[in-house]
Amino acid sequence: MTSQDAARTLFHAVTGTSPAGIWSAPGRVNLIGEHTDYNEGFVLPFAIPQRTYAAAGPRADRRIRVTSTFTAEAVEVAIDDLDRLFPTASGAVPAVTEWAAYPLGVAWALLAHAPDAGALPGLDIALSSGVPVGAGLSSSAAIEGATASAINDLWSLGLDAVTLAQVGRRAENEAVGAPTGIMDQMASMLGQPDAALFLDCRSLVSRPVPLGFTDSGLELLVIDTRVMHAHSTGGYRERRESCERGAAILGVPALRDVQVDDLDRAAGLMDDVTFRRVRHIVTENQRVLDTVDALAARGPRAIGELLTASHASMRDDFEISAPELDVAVDAALSAGALGARMTGGGFGGSAIALIDHDRSEQVAESVCAAFAASGFDAPHLFTVAPSAGPRRDA
């Protein structure tokens, strides 16, 4: 059964009726530009074929019920109680389980855009996802995008893709309590086939950047280590606080405003850990710009070293890698990958490797053998191609 069919089946099982529609949004792979988004810098992600589906329909009352195929739990709240449900911005814990905070947080954030909140109908929303959870492929943004697209239509809000991305980020930051930037939501909402999204996270100005993997005989292999991660836990928050501390020491609004030439001065102003966090962000921003330039001038075969340098920076300076991620990257490179790096927030999740199509089997075998030799559980390997953003599927 496909994820789309599973969402429809679950909706019917819960409500006894067919949904008004089924909406979906993709996960994403970040090609390069990690942790630069909340530093108002540059990123280069793309949407992937794996999607989350939301089967949804209106209710006669003013209640919202969310269900999903990954838990037997159904969570139901009144629309009028949403404001009391999410006090996370003041440091309190949300009053619902984390999975339900994503779709309900989106509904809460969308209330700010409703001209007459008192006239809104209730909703039933059933979720099913083909995006691996905890793999660094932004299953959360896919949930937010699918849910926001459904509610946007059913509540007749008429919001554009960028606004829906901002709604998703607010839900993740304030309803769920994960201190993420806006990269994931923008990548999911603005995805295009065969292109990455070059995004300025300060201005939200973006443009598609053709990748041309297939025409160059390349493919992007995802190596899901199966080591789960969560953005709402302490490591991610600590890295963000270090970046904010570094920006304050340097007297700039965000690390986006620091250049590579400024690093020598920065080294004398802060402790070693803070400096290394700063150095990752500053050099990663430059690597994103260099990657965009290399793609335009020489094509995707020219970006491998930049991907690998990004991983070294995340491993050594930002310290967000994991042994499984390092083994995945090293094994892929040893087997002939042009470049490889961990992708996503870190502390687990996935690595990506840019490989020749005819070396795909060799690289996969090398990675699996390296995992076995290290005593790690077998990874999940699959290839991805840049794909389209949200849509109404039925």
| Ranges assigned E (strand) in the chain | 21-32, 42-59, 63-68, 71-78, 122-129, 195-200, 206-210, 218-227, 339-343, 349-356, 380-384, 391-392
Structure tokens at 226: 């199966």
Give residues with Cβ within 8 angstroms of 317, minimum separation 6: 276, 277, 279, 280, 283
Edge-to-edge strand list for the sheet holding 349-356: 339-343, 349-356, 218-227, 380-384
The residue among 303, 372, 370, 374 whose CA lies nearest residue 340 is 303
Query: What are the backbone angles phi and psi of residue 344, rounded to the nearest 5°?
Result: 100, -170
Q: Residue 179, Cβ neighbours under 10 Å: how many?
A: 16
290 annotated active-site? no
166: Cα within 13 Å, side-chain hemisphere = 12
Catalytically annotated residue among 124, 184, 224, 317: 184
**Residues marked as catalytic:** 184
